Structure 1
C-alpha cells in the first residue's frame, strides 16, 4: 500500500539519518490518513459524521476517538479477522479491555524498533533482556509482551527471558540469570511495569540482594500503576532502583505507550518524554482546544503509524507539553466513568464538552 510505504519511509529516514518531519509534511500525511480512515473505517466515519467534522483543515482538527472506544467497536480499515496483530488493552477498574487490530506488523515493528534504537540503546550495546512483562507465548495479545520480544529479538544477545508468570515474579530465576550476566560482563536491560519493579525491589529487599549491573545497562519502566492499589513516588522508585542495581539516574528509562497507539515515547534521566517525529501530542481542554505549552490538559495523540485504525486518539492521561517534551501527570479519574458508543449521540456530545 502506498500509504504504508510513505509512512515507512518517514520512519526509516529518522531511524537511519535523524531526518525530521516538518509541519507541512506532517500535516499533509495526517490529513491523507484521516481521509483514508474516513472512507474505510466505518465506526470512525459514523463518529466523525455525528460530530459534523469530516473536513479538517489541519492535523489538530482531526477528530480523536477516546481510547475507551476500542472497547466498543472494531476500529479498523479492514476486516479484523485478517489482522496481523491484535493487542488487548488492560481495561479500567470498571470495565473490560478493548482490542486494537492492525492489518500489518510492518508499521508497528518499524516504529517500535526505530524508537527503541534511537532513544534507548547505548553505543550499539546488545543487551541481555530481563522482561518483567507478560510473556507473549502465554499472553499473545499483550502489546508489552510483543514489544519486548521484538526488541530482544532485534537488539538482544539471544538470551532474553520473561520473569513474570500468572502475575507471580520468578525471583529465583531472575536472580540466577542476572548474576550470570554480571559474571559475563554482559550489559542488561530490565524492562518492567512500575508495579513489577516495586514487587522486584520488595523481593530483593527481603533477600537483602543488591547487584552491580555492567556498564551501559538499563532499567526501563514500561508503564505505571493503573488498576493497582499501591502507588510509589517516581523519585523514590528511581532512588531504590539505583541503590539495588548499582546504576545511575541516566541509566533509568521510562517508556510511555498505549495499546491504542503504534508508537512510543521515552524519557531518560529526565521527566520529559521525547517522541519520534511521526507522533505528535497536544494537551487539550474540555472542548479539545489545544492548550499552550506548560498548561495541564488531557493528552491527545496523532500517530501516523496508526494507518489501519485511528490516527488520532484522545487519552485519559493528564500532562504538559513543553519544548523539552511531554511531562506525564497521571490519569484523569473521571474519564473512564462513562461508557463509549461510537454510534451514540452521547459520544458526540462528550466530544464537544456537553456531557
Structure 2
C-alpha cells in the first residue's frame, strides 16, 4: 500500500475506506495478525466496517515480531517496561512514515513546529536506548530551528532560567516532559508563564506515587502559572499520537481513531460514552499492525474525542499517559 494514502484522509468515509484496505493488506502480509484472525474465524470477506475488524492484543508486541512488510527493519523502538517485565518491541521498516505521522499530527493541532522553541524534559527516556518519544522530540527540536531548543536532564536551574527568559521575550515555547520531572521542576521553582505550553507525556516511571490526572494537572497548573496542561497520548506500539489541550480530553489526527470494547467481551465494540478497553486504529502502523487492543480503560465521546480513565488490573504501569485511578 502507498502510505501517502493514509495522510490524505479527509473525512470519516475516507478513514473507513482506507482502514478496510489496511486490514486486507495486513491480513495477507502479517503472519502474526493473520494467525490471530484465523483463530477468531474472521476473514476479510466477513468484514464490511471497522467495528468488525479484529484488534490484536498489545501484549503480542512483547512476544512476537509484528511486521506487515518484507523490507529491512530500519529501527526498533522499545518500551521502558519495569524490572522483571518483558518490553514491547516495535520494528519500523519505514521511518519516513513515522516522521510524517508525528510531524503532520502535531501540526494538525498546533501549527508549524518551526514556530516553537521545543524544550524536552524527559530524563527517564534519555537515559535508555530505543525510545520513540525521544526520536520524535529530537526531530522536533531540529525542525524548530530555534537555537534555544534542546533537551534537559538534571539541569533544572538552567531550564528555569530558559523558560522565564523565553516566555518574557514572548516566544512560543513548548515544554514537553514526563510527569515526575515536571513535578520536580515546580516543586523547586514557581512560574507565571504566558506564552508557554506545558505538555505532559504521563508516567511516573516508578519515581513517584501515581496520581490521577486532575490532581497532577492542578499541581502543574499552579506551579507553572498556566490555565491548562496539555497532554500527549502515545506508546511504543503506535506511530501516531493523540493530543489534549486541557481537561484530559484527547483528539486524534485524521488517520487515527479510538473505539472502546466491552471489558467482559473483547470482541464487542461499545457505543459512544460507555467506558471500556481502548482499541486503537493507527493507520500509520501500516507496516506493523494498525489495529491494537490496549490495556487502557477509557471513554469515547460522541464527537470522537476520548478520555483515558485507568488501566486493566495487573497491567504494567508504563509509557505515555498511563496514569492509574
Q: TM-score range by the shorter chain?
A: 0.7 to 0.9
Partner of 1:353: none
Question: Would the aligned equivalents of 2:78 and 2:132 in 1 still touch at CA under 8 Å?
Answer: yes
Question: Would the aligned equivalents of 1:280 and 1:301 in 2 still touch at CA under 8 Å?
Answer: yes
TM-score, length basis structure 1: 0.80
Question: Would the aligned equivalents of 1:68 and 1:336 in 2 still touch at CA under 8 Å?
Answer: no
Partner of 1:157: 146
Partner of 1:348: none
SS at match of 1:230: coil
Label 1:32 to 1:153 Cα distance change in 2 as closer, same or farther (>3 A): same
Question: Would the aligned equivalents of 1:21 and 1:278 in 2 still touch at CA under 8 Å?
Answer: no
Partner of 1:116: 106
- 2:317 counterpart of 1:326: no
Unmatched 5+ stretches in structure 1: 11-19, 338-355
Whole-angstrom distance in 2 between the partners of 1:230 and 1:142: 23
- Residue among 98, 120, 127 paired with 1:131: 120
Label 1:134 to 1:96 Cα distance change in 2 as closer, same or farther (>3 A): farther
Shift of 1:72: 0.4
SS at match of 1:75: coil
Partner of 1:301: 280
Question: Would the aligned equivalents of 1:129 and 1:156 in 2 still touch at CA under 8 Å?
Answer: no
Partner of 1:266: 243
Question: Would the aligned equivalents of 2:186 and 2:224 in 1 still touch at CA under 8 Å?
Answer: no
Shift of 1:232: 2.6
SS at match of 1:318: strand
**How many residue pairs align between the two structures?**
312
Range that drifts further, 52-61 or 294-303: 52-61
Question: Would the aligned equivalents of 1:37 and 1:310 in 2 still touch at CA under 8 Å?
Answer: yes
Question: Would the aligned equivalents of 1:136 and 1:149 in 2 still touch at CA under 8 Å?
Answer: no
RMSD between aligned residues: 2.6
Label 1:198 to 1:282 Cα distance change in 2 as closer, same or farther (>3 A): same
Question: Would the aligned equivalents of 1:132 and 1:193 in 2 still touch at CA under 8 Å?
Answer: yes
Partner of 1:57: 48
Shift of 1:127: 2.2
Unmatched 5+ stretches in structure 2: 318-325
Partner of 1:31: 20
Whole-angstrom distance in 2 between the partners of 1:154 and 1:216: 20
TM-score, length basis structure 2: 0.86
Question: Would the aligned equivalents of 2:30 and 2:68 in 1 still touch at CA under 8 Å?
Answer: yes
Label 1:276 to 1:125 Cα distance change in 2 as closer, same or farther (>3 A): same
Question: Would the aligned equivalents of 2:78 and 2:87 in 1 still touch at CA under 8 Å?
Answer: yes
Bigger Rg over Cα:
1
